[in-house]
Amino acid sequence: MTAAVTFQFGTMTPQGMSHLSVDYVQVPVSAWQAGTSYNPTSDTVQWAFMPQATQVPAGGDWVAGSWDTAPTSLIYPYVAKCLLGTAGTTALTIGAYYAYVKIQDSPEIPVLIAGSLEIS
């Protein structure tokens, strides 16, 4: 039996952006398994942006994300990110959104609220 992987998120950035921008929304991530640092970058990462706190993401709400590394960060050495905007993975209209991140590990698939995002 494989030990569970534990994920922890830092503060999502940015927390606001113009609807005219094409920019990454990012959240720092740390992961560990059996007390040892775990590299999640081979896991599929997806994002969902929901306009109301009471809405939870469904199948069609998820969009592709990607990974980056932050080798100088001892606390959060990995970054989950999603390119937003008309030339990005998804374009959001003006409004407030709750950002969810889903990491497809095996056998676990954690879904975490990364933060809120204001599109102006």
Domain assignment present for 53: yes
Q: Tell me: pLDDT of 1 over 70.
A: no
Distance of CA 97 to the CA centre of its chain: 13
Domain assignment present for 107: yes
* Domain, as residue range, for 84: 5-115
Average pLDDT, the chain: 93
Domain assignment present for 120: no
Euclidean distance between CA atoms 110 and 87, whole angstroms: 28
Mean of pLDDT values over 82-103:
95
Mean of pLDDT values over 51-64:
94
Q: Tell me: pLDDT of 5 over 70.
A: yes
Domain count, the chain: 1
Model-wide pTM > 0.85: yes
Give the CATH number, domain containing residue 81. Answer: 2.60.40
